[in-house]
A = this chain, B = another copy of it.
Amino acid sequence: MEKMGVAVIGLGNRGQLLLKTVLKHFKDFQVVALSDLYEDRLQKGIAACEKYGEYQPLYADTNYKNFISKPEIDCVIVPSSWDSHIEICIDSMNAGKYVASEVGGAYNIEQCFDLVKTYERTGVPCMMLENCCYGKDEMLVLNMVKKGLFGEILHCEGGYHHDLRDEVALGHEQRHYRLDNYMHRNGEVYPTHELGPIAKVLNINRGNRMIMLTAMASKSGAVNQWIKDNKGADYENANFHFAMGDVITTCIKCAHGETIVLTHDTTIPRAYSRGGLVQGTKGTWSEDCDGILIDGMVEGASYDHKFLPMKDFYEEHMHPLWKEYKKNGLVGGHGGMDGLCLAAFFDAVRNKTEVPIDAYDMASWMAITCLSEDSIAMGSMPVPIPDFTYGKWIKRKPYVRSKYCLEEVCYDCFDEEEK
């Protein structure tokens, strides 16, 4: 069997983790090219190939443009810094390579349109590796939504609640892109972990779309406090006025009247949560309450206003993809969702099909970042969200070509056992 060639561009912490997952678990793919702006990271990537793949990549270059068009490369994975995702994706599509980008937000609307236009011109699929779309609980809820158990969906929420103060504060030491973004920008810079699964619940870009948002930022102060407490008052940026508010709240309205609330909350001491909430006319899922309540499912539960714990739903309503995945063995980081998300991309590369999270999704999800910055800059004014599909969202059908699809559950793709 001839292996398919993968290039990995961006070899920071996230890149190294994804690289290792590819090397260890996707044996019909071979990492043929590596790139990072830093030589030491490049060497670390080469060493990983030698260790886990028992080979050296054909290309290792600080400038990916030197190898992007090489015929040995079938697809590209982009775990680089936020500001380079779209540029690398566009270069990859122009070179005819399937491309999968790590998550992040856009810096302006224009680059989102550039992404879509490049996809439309080249016809080369571009996927966002939004691993949380393949999270166990997110897929459980998606499955229950698509079964109609929540009724008509009305409102969803999500948040990136993750205390990253050390990563932000020590950004210069760790060469981490978060620091610069937090110093200079004020907006929902990391929307997709929550928005991705919500967008699939709400059929965004396939019969629905996000039309408008407002955003509001709290003052900032928590990073300064952390630096002073942990590194002293003379440490770099101890007294720098960070542009980014510690909590950013973004409210989004959809074409069919549903609302979405996103929260960016990454510099305050707290437990991790993605704050998932899905509410329909017949039920609610709340991640933080660890519960689901569906009208009529359990005698008296609606009358008593009682959530049932998530675990009570796994047996009957687990998404068939997760049933199969658990049976075959979870791989990769973040509870297995990294591996499942990569599997979805590689499945499309192998079969030369479309990808389940495509350029339209990527453009519209990433656009929330720069639009939230605009709204905050203008005192929380509502700002319109462009239609990145050029009208096609009205007639686009759910993507149901593979078992990895995220709009409808493609039961035909699974064995009897998983259905």
Listed in ascending order, the chain A residues whose CB lies under 8 Å from chain B are 151-152, 154-155, 162-163, 212, 214, 216-222, 224-225, 229, 245-247, 249, 251, 253, 256-259, 261, 263, 265, 268-273, 279-284, 286, 288-289, 291, 293-296, 302, 305-307, 379-382
The answer on a CB contact under 8 Å between A293 and B269 is yes
The answer on a CB contact under 8 Å between B293 and A270 is yes
Report B-chain residues with C-beta under 8 Å of the C-beta of A305.
162-163, 269-272
A269 to nearest B CB, angstroms?
5
From the candidates B154, B218, B249, B263, name the one contacting A219 in the complex (CB within 8 A). B154
**A295 and B269 in contact, given A247-B154, A305-B163, A382-B381 (Cβ under 8 angstroms):** yes
Question: Given A218-B258, A225-B281, A245-B259, 4 more contacts at CB 8 Å?
Answer: A151-B221, A216-B259, A253-B380, A288-B289
A242 to nearest B CB, angstroms?
12
Roughly how many angstroms separate A282 CA and B222 CA in the complex, as a whole number?
7
The answer on a CB contact under 8 Å between A268 and B259 is no
Q: Count the copies.
A: 2
Q: In this complex, what residue of B is CB-closest to A275? A: B288
The answer on a CB contact under 8 Å between B268 and A286 is no
Report B-chain residues with C-beta under 8 Å of the C-beta of A286.
270-271, 288
The answer on a CB contact under 8 Å between A222 and B154 is yes
A280 to nearest B CB, angstroms?
7
From the candidates B251, B256, B265, name the one contacting A380 in the complex (CB within 8 A). B251
Report B-chain residues with C-beta under 8 Å of the C-beta of A261.
249, 261, 263
A170 to nearest B CB, angstroms?
14
The answer on a CB contact under 8 Å between A282 and B154 is no
The answer on a CB contact under 8 Å between B288 and A246 is no
The answer on a CB contact under 8 Å between A222 and B281 is yes
Name 29 interchain pairs, CB-CB below 8 A, sorted by A: A151-B222, A152-B221, A155-B247, A155-B265, A155-B268, A212-B379, A212-B380, A214-B214, A214-B216, A218-B257, A218-B259, A219-B258, A221-B281, A222-B280, A247-B259, A249-B251, A249-B261, A251-B380, A268-B279, A268-B281, A269-B283, A269-B302, A270-B286, A270-B307, A271-B291, A272-B305, A380-B382, A381-B381, A381-B382
Roughly how many angstroms separate A281 CA and B225 CA in the complex, as a whole number?
7
A198 to nearest B CB, angstroms?
13
Minimum-distance CB pairs A-B, first 3: A219-B257, A270-B284, A155-B247
Roughly how many angstroms separate A251 CA and B307 CA in the complex, as a whole number?
27
Report B-chain residues with C-beta under 8 Å of the C-beta of A212.
379-380
A257 to nearest B CB, angstroms?
3
Report B-chain residues with C-beta under 8 Å of the C-beta of A247.
154-155, 259, 279
A301 to nearest B CB, angstroms?
8
**A155 and B284 in contact, given A258-B219, A307-B270, A380-B212 (Cβ under 8 angstroms):** no
The answer on a CB contact under 8 Å between A154 and B218 is yes
The answer on a CB contact under 8 Å between A225 and B282 is yes
Roughly how many angstroms separate A417 CA and B20 CA in the complex, as a whole number?
60
Report B-chain residues with C-beta under 8 Å of the C-beta of A288.
286, 288-289
**A279 and B246 in contact, given A163-B305, A251-B214, A251-B216 (Cβ under 8 angstroms):** yes
Roughly how many angstroms separate A296 CA and B286 CA in the complex, as a whole number?
29
Q: In this complex, what residue of B is CB-closest to A294? A: B269
The answer on a CB contact under 8 Å between A380 and B214 is yes
From the candidates B249, B259, B306, name the one contacting A259 in the complex (CB within 8 A). B249
Roughly how many angstroms separate A162 CA and B305 CA in the complex, as a whole number?
8
From the candidates B155, B222, B229, B307, name the one contacting A246 in the complex (CB within 8 A). B155
